[in-house]
């Protein structure tokens, strides 16, 4: 690649292809051809859109010619291309598809003028920018007789008003699409589709505020980040502090320092935490332009925000996962709030992790990266204690409230009782004292496993230390990491009890029980079913805030981001569904969940209480929950990871084959694993190959799934093997291969 223009360009095409392509640019298109623009190119017998990566020289071959240049200004910079290239090679995903994923979907109709034909959505083809038709009188009306009736009134109105939107016309004249069509046919009226700028938070009013006087922990954190900003070098931090310890205030004050230096800030938050309240905290503090990116925006809204960023009109971008690709320049700081959140991982298509890419982009931009959380990932904690991240701690809640007290209740031997007496008593007492209660139940487990209700024993894989998953078809308990399998036992292998059951409780069942036990209480439920409609979320939360709910039953949805000041008791009724998920991180997830729930309890005037019902009362994820015992938890868990061979001590990749016919997917998985083992021998690789085995979701959207897991002692070994696989293996037609580097949901 050379900087000086030649007439040959390198183009990435958003198709599942591992290579890029060279095209010749015809003379007339040369002036408009630039890195970062889209071009229309011939590809096979089709024409496709590609992205210009730069100019190339010295190519003698006959090359096909570019048909058109599609953009007036580049969509990405050389620096952004560097990030895309990095992500493409690290995640083994085609560059063209990476670029497509990094750009907003609404871009497809950029600069395309609409053929407005009434007052519906005017655009066809591609994703839609939101437009509204704007009507005006024709500049030079042709010599025809003006129509009479309603249509002439409309015409008069248009001649006076110059321009009117369809909605306004409807407001005055009622439905008038017939008349408008007639007027257009006569050439008396012109219509144009105008892009509407949509500000998702336009209705919020903002009162400016000023920085708060920081406490000792916050001051130290701010000073250390400010120092790093001043050196202008890449500096990664872990900002560890419980919810309410003042992390956001630290972000605000360090960003203020950054803005004075003419640099910009990218703030990533989990989707669910991206509320108007959070955005308003930034708006109150800063006069500068702020862009907001989240999945609640229409393609058009998202595209509007993206363009404001591209044009350099904003200094702060707040967004969920995909905002890591925001076209922000001069980045001085990237914040990843709640860095432990699984939602930073894109779980389909281009499987990137925005939290990890924040570190990569931060390094490229010589920026500070601040990972904030109350419950760091085990790998993050390890990085902080081994000096790869600088650790900043905010040990206390700003308001001085103590963390709630945790009580672990032994559920063994209580067959069939969903809510045990100590929790019933706790709720009673809390109701009597006027407090609100949260009854929490994790429903995310799609797998079923066996638990002994007498002794709490669960079946685990002797090779992989993860829970075995029951497969009805085979009537076996199977490890989906290595395919170890045993027949379903009828008695507990540990204590001989016959009380072995597949645990599984629904929120609806719990709601029923709660209503039965506490008939006077006002009960509400928050889960995927009750929050489906628009505003469903907000309605439930408002009722809790207004104290119109005494007992809220909720799933993991409530554990994140929301503030429930009146909740003084949290009961966790089935911690097993987190503790026993067949995933090597089940202990980490349980620890995080409990700590996050503790953050929900007693944020108001009263210190709260957390009651956990469990079949595993001695598990370290439960006994060490709570901030005081944090280091004990991480030490125990890291020892487990080292012993069993999991991150951060090894690096993982999951290869998943999917197809619509179960037998062929299973057969091909054996072929793939065999091929990998051959490559391993040829490369003298130390990568461990586990499986193939049925994936935890054995069937998803009609496709059967089998996976092979790679475990590598160091990253280069993993990428060498994956690269060798890419160049020597392709699945037969009908079967797809998904590569997931650093998988989150195994």
Binding residues vs ligand ADP (CB under 6 A): 212-215, 218, 241, 243-249, 398
User: Could you tell me the smallest distance in angstroms from the CB atom of residue 665 to Zn ion?
Assistant: 20
User: Which residue in the set 455, 503, 697, 723 belongs to the binding site for Zn ion (CB under 5 A)?
Assistant: 455
Does 288 count as an annotated binding residue? no
Dist CA 30 CA 27 (whole Å):
5
Smaller CB separation from ligand ADP, 167 or 212? 212
User: Could you tell me the smallest distance in angstroms from the CB atom of residue 197 to Zn ion?
Assistant: 54
Indicate the DSSP class of residue 205. -
Does 464 count as an annotated binding residue? yes
Is residue 362 within a helix (H) or strand (E), and if so which, with residue range? helix 354-364
Smaller CB separation from Zn ion, 641 or 703? 641
Per-residue exposure over 87-116, b if at least 16 CB sit within 10 Å of its own CB, e if not = bbebbbbbbbbbbbbbbbbbbbbbeeebeb
Q: Cβ distance 479 to 463 under 8 Å?
A: yes
Smaller CB separation from ligand ADP, 273 or 409? 273
Dist CA 738 CA 93 (whole Å):
9
Does 656 count as an annotated binding residue? no
Taking phi first (over 0 means left), then psi (-120 to 50 degrees means alpha), and beta for anything else, what does residue 330 get?
left
User: Could you tell me the smallest distance in angstroms from the CB atom of residue 583 to ligand ADP?
Assistant: 27
Near Zn ion by CB under 5 A, which window of 216-224, 226-234, 495-503, 546-554? 495-503
Is residue 191 within a helix (H) or strand (E), and if so which, with residue range? strand 189-195
Residues 578, 581, 585: CA angle, nearest 5 degrees: 85
Q: In the 3-class helix/strand/coil scheme, how is 549-576 assigned residue by residue?
A: CCEEEECHHHHCCCCCCCEEEEEECCCH
From Zn ion, ligand ADP, none, which one binds at residue 71 (CB under 5 to 8 Å depending on kind)? none
Indicate the DSSP class of residue 534. T
User: Which residue in the set 428, 494, 688, 745 belongs to the binding site for Zn ion (CB under 5 A)?
Assistant: 494
Q: Cβ distance 104 to 63 under 8 Å?
A: no
From Zn ion, ligand ADP, none, which one binds at residue 218 (CB under 5 to 8 Å depending on kind)? ligand ADP
User: Which residue in the set 158, 452, 559, 722 belongs to the binding site for Zn ion (CB under 5 A)?
Assistant: 452
Smaller CB separation from ligand ADP, 392 or 695? 392
CA of residue 120 relative to chain centroid, distance:
32
User: Which residue in the set 482, 553, 655, 718 belongs to the binding site for Zn ion (CB under 5 A)?
Assistant: 482
Smaller CB separation from ligand ADP, 332 or 599? 599
Q: How far apart are the first and last CA of the chain?
A: 39
Smaller CB separation from ligand ADP, 222 or 302? 222
Dist CA 354 CA 162 (whole Å):
48
Does 67 count as an annotated binding residue? no
From Zn ion, ligand ADP, none, which one binds at residue 452 (CB under 5 to 8 Å depending on kind)? Zn ion
From Zn ion, ligand ADP, none, which one binds at residue 481 (CB under 5 to 8 Å depending on kind)? Zn ion
Near Zn ion by CB under 5 A, which window of 101-109, 299-307, 374-382, 496-504? 496-504
Smaller CB separation from ligand ADP, 395 or 734? 395
User: Could you tell me the smallest distance in angstroms from the CB atom of residue 677 to Zn ion?
Assistant: 17
Q: Cβ distance 609 to 437 under 8 Å?
A: no
Length of the chain: 746
Does 452 count as an annotated binding residue? yes
Dist CA 539 CA 520 (whole Å):
21
Q: Cβ distance 209 to 252 under 8 Å?
A: no
The yes or no reply on residue 654 touching Zn ion (CB under 5 A) is: no
Question: Which residues fall in the annotated binding site for Zn(2+)?
Answer: 452, 455, 461, 464, 479, 482, 492, 495
Residues that bind Zn ion (CB under 5 A): 452, 454-455, 457, 461, 463-464, 479, 481-482, 484, 492, 494-495, 497
């Amino acid at each position: 690649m050379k900087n000086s223009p030649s007439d040959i360009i390198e183009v990435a095409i958003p198709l599942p292809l591992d290579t890029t392509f060279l095209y010749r640019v015809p003379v007339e298109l040369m002036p408009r051809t630039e890195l970062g623009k889209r071009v229309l190119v011939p590809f096979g017998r089709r024409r496709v859109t590609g992205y210009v990566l730069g100019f190339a020289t010295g190519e003698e071959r006959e090359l096909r010619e570019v048909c058109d240049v599609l953009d007036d200004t580049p969509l990405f910079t050389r620096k952004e291309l560097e990030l895309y290239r990095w992500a493409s090679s690290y995640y083994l995903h085609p560059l063209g598809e990476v670029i497509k994923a990094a750009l907003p979907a609404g871009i497809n109709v950029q600069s395309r003028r609409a053929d407005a034909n009434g007052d519906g959505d005017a655009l066809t083809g591609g994703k839609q920018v939101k437009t509204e038709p704007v009507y005006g009188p024709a500049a030079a009306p042709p010599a025809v007789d003006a129509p009479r009736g309603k249509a002439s009134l409309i015409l008069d109105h248009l001649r006076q008003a110059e321009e009117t939107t369809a909605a306004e016309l409807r407001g005055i004249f009622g439905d008038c699409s017939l008349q408008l069509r007639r007027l257009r046919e006569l050439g008396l009226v012109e219509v144009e589709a105008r892009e509407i700028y949509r500000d998702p938070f336009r209705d919020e009013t903002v009162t400016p505020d000023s920085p708060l006087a920081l406490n000792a922990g916050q001051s130290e954190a701010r000073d250390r980040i400010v120092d790093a900003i001043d050196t202008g070098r890449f500096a990664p931090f872990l900002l560890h502090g419980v919810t309410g310890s003042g992390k956001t205030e630290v972000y605000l004050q360090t960003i203020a320092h950054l803005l004075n230096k003419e640099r910009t800030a990218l703030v990533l938050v989990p989707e669910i935490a991206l509320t108007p309240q959070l955005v308003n905290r930034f708006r109150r503090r800063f006069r500068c332009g702020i862009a907001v990116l989240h999945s609640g925006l229409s393609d058009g809204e998202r595209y509007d925000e993206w363009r404001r960023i591209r044009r350099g009109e904003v200094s702060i971008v707040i967004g969920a996962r995909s905002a890591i690709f925001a076209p922000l320049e001069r980045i001085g700081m990237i914040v990843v709030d709640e860095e432990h959140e699984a939602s930073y991982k894109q779980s389909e298509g281009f499987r990137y992790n925005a939290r990890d890419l924040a570190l990569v982009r931060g390094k490229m931009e010589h920026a500070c990266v601040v990972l904030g959380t109350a419950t760091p990932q085990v790998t993050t904690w390890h990085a902080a204690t081994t000096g790869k991240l600088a650790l900043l701690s905010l040990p206390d809640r700003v308001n001085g409230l103590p963390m709630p007290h945790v009580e672990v209740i032994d559920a063994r031997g209580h067959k069939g009782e969903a809510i045990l007496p100590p929790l019933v008593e706790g709720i009673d007492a809390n109701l009597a004292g006027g407090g609100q209660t949260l009854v929490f139940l994790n429903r995310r487990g799609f797998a079923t496993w066996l638990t002994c209700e007498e002794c709490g024993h669960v079946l685990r894989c002797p090779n992989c230390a993860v829970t075995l998953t029951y497969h009805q078809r085979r009537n076996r308990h199977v490890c989906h990491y290595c395919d170890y399998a045993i027949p379903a036992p009828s008695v507990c292998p540990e204590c001989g009890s016959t009380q072995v059951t597949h645990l599984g409780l629904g929120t609806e069942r719990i709601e029923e029980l709660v209503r039965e036990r506490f008939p006077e209480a006002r009960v509400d439920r928050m889960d995927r079913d009750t929050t489906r409609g628009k505003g469903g979320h907000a309605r439930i939360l408002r009722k809790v805030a207004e104290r119109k709910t005494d007992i809220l039953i909720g799933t993991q949805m409530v554990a994140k981001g929301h503030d429930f000041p009146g909740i003084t008791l949290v009961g966790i009724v089935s911690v097993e569904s987190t503790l026993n998920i067949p995933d090597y991180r089940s202990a980490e997830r349980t620890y995080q969940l409990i700590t996050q729930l503790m953050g929900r309890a007693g944020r108001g005037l009263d210190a709260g209480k957390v009651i956990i019902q469990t079949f595993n009362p001695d598990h370290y994820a439960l006994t060490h929950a709570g901030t005081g015992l944090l280091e004990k938890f991480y030490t125990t868990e890291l020892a487990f990871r080292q012993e069993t061979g999991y991150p951060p001590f090894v690096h993982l990749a999951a290869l998943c084959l999917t197809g619509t016919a179960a037998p062929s997917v299973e057969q091909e998985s054996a072929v793939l694993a065999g091929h990998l083992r051959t490559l391993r021998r040829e490369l003298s690789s130390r990568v461990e190959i586990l499986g193939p085995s049925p994936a935890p979701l054995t069937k998803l959207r009609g496709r059967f799934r089998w996976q092979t897991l790679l475990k590598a002692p160091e990253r280069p070994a993993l990428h060498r093997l994956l690269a060798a696989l890419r160049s020597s293996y392709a699945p037969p037609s009908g079967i797809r291969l998904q590569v997931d580097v650093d998988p989150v949901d195994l």
